[in-house]
Structure 1
Amino acid sequence: MSFLLLFQLPWTTMMSYSFCMLTAAAALLVPCHAFNCPGLPELSDIPGVGRLLQLLKPVLGPMWPFGRERLPEPQVPTGLQGLPISLDTEFSNVLVNFRQRLSRLEGALTLNGKITKAGEKILASNGKKVIFSSALESCEKTGGTLATPMNKEENKAILGIVEQYNSYAYLGIKESETSGQFEYMNGTPLNYTNWHQYEPNGKGTEKCVEMHTNGNWNDKKCNLYRLTICEF
């Protein structure tokens, strides 16, 4: 009679009942394993029990894992946001990078002129023509520096602004202490050049560099009025 009644129960009820019984049975085995009962095999080594343990893992919670030596759960260090350190660091790096890019864009926008992009650089001009020192100063005040092409793509982007204003522009390049040799503003040697034919030829008298409306470079005196183009 009881056997017939069991099969008349809803399937979900039977499953819940069976699951509870299996859980209880496994739980009874835990204390013995916790105290290293002699001669008792590892639960996971008993045929069919390994799969059962996996099913019971979400239910038994703190009693997991089963075995003779239960190691404490590793503590995952968390960051300020409650995230694991690795994720928190990654998030912080993304945030810092975003702030830097936003700051560069803000600097470019303050020039109220033409803006373009070349790779990771933002290029902008206020349309003003000034001497080299004034051009450099205005760029640095907005958080940038004079446009400095380091490859063909960047040179082309700067040329685009030069063409829009139809005016030669100063570049962030200067003559080094060695006459006829040019370098970046931080003193490192040039890794890309686009000199006009027979240039540079100032031989110590032309310490600045300008870009012509065809994209070529020419060494020139620093007291001439040229277009200001900044990079961020």
Structure 2
Amino acid sequence: MAIRIIAIQTLLCLVSYTLGQQACFDSFVVVPTRTATGATGNADPNCLLRNPPVARRNDYTYFPGIGGYKLHSENLLWNQARITCEKEGGHLAIINSLAERDAVVTVLKAVNPHPVCVMLGFHDLYAAGHHVTIHGQTLARAGFDEWANGQPNKDGSESCGSLHLSGELHDHRCDESRPFVCEHPIH
């Protein structure tokens, strides 16, 4: 089964390359994994992944079943913060549930003094009022869209996303430097 999937992926890559003159082979990694069992019945020892696995970091706080988070106390612009998280193998945090929101707030409160508001991985840079995550999902589809009263700002001047210590979402100007939270995937 895995060989068939790889063959199909390779064929699609070749067609894409031929039509668009762009290579796509560098985005796939075949990683041997343990045999999977479960409802799907997939017992294939090979798994096709789009990105290589992320190593667990000692400077992140991990919550079982949720993910790992790191508060960066230095103030950066939103795009600089996004790049910093990516260099660490993660991304600006995206809140997908109440449990994840609580985990991030726990990380914030563990630092004294803790920031009142931190940047997250969402924005409305593409269309005012249409907030999406850095992965392109709407906040509702991502699983958490609880805004503070009076938020988001309606005049279009605040396009980058943040989380208030209260656990509610805010938006702020992208040219304002703030602390931020990076997220690592679940291990």
AA paired with 2:156? G
Aligned-pair CA distance for 1:174: 0.5
Instruction: Give deviations 1:95-140, integer Å, cap 9, x for gaps.
Output: x8xx82xx3413xx3xx4x513262422123432222111111100
Whose relative contact order is higher, 1 or 2, with alpha carbons under 8 Å and at least 6 apart? 2
How has the CA–CA distance of structure 1 residues 176 and 228 changed in structure 2, closer, same or farther, with 3 Å as cutoff? closer
- 1:27-46 superposed matches below 5 A: none
Residue type at the aligned position of 2:78 = F
* Offset of residue 88 of structure 1: 7.9
| Inter-CA distance 152–87: structure 2 relative to 1 (3 Å threshold) | closer
Alpha-carbon distance, 1:87 to partner: 9.9
* Distance of 2:75 and 2:61 partners within structure 1: 17
TM-score (norm 2): 0.63
Q: 1:137 to 1:87 in 2, by over 3 A?
A: closer
- 1:56 is aligned to none
TM alignment of 1:65-214, pairs within 5 A = 89-90=44-45, 92=46, 100=53, 103-106=54-57, 109=58, 112=59, 115-117=61-63, 119-165=65-111, 166-167=114-115, 168-191=117-140, 192-214=144-166
Contact 1:147 1:171 in 2 (8 A): yes
- What secondary structure does 1:89 align onto? coil
Cα-Cα RMSD:
2.7
Q: Distance in 1 between matches of 2:97 and 2:152?
A: 18
1:139-170 residue CA offsets vs partner (Å, 9 max, x unmatched)? 00111100110111111111112223311210
Q: SS where residue 110 of structure 2 aligns?
A: helix
TM-score by length of 1: 0.52
| Residues 101 and 167 in structure 2, CA contact (< 8 A), matched pair in contact too | yes
Aligned residue identity for 1:89: D
Cα distance, 1:231 vs. partner?
A: 0.7
Conserved? CA contact 1:202–1:219, under 8 Å: no
1:20-73 deviations in Å (ceiling 9; x for gaps): xxxxxxxxxxxxxxxxxxxxxxxxxxxxxxxxxxxxxxxxxxxxxxxxxxxxxx
Identity of aligned residues (%): 21
* Counterparts of 1:116 and 1:88, CA distance in 2: 29
Gaps of 5+ in 1: 1-79, 81-85
More strand, by proportion = 2
Contact 2:67/2:183 (8 A) holds in 1: yes
Greater C-alpha Rg: 1
Helix, strand or coil at the partner of 1:140: helix
Instruction: Give the distance between the partners of 1:148 and 1:134, measured in 2 at CA.
Output: 16
Q: Residue 103 of structure 2: SS of its match in structure 1?
A: helix
SS of 2:63's equivalent?
strand
Instruction: Give the gaps of 5 or more residues in structure 2.
Output: 1-31, 33-40
1:118–1:172 distance in 2 versus 1, CA, 3 Å: farther
Structure ranking higher in helix proportion: 1
2:66–2:100 contact (8 Å) kept in structure 1: no
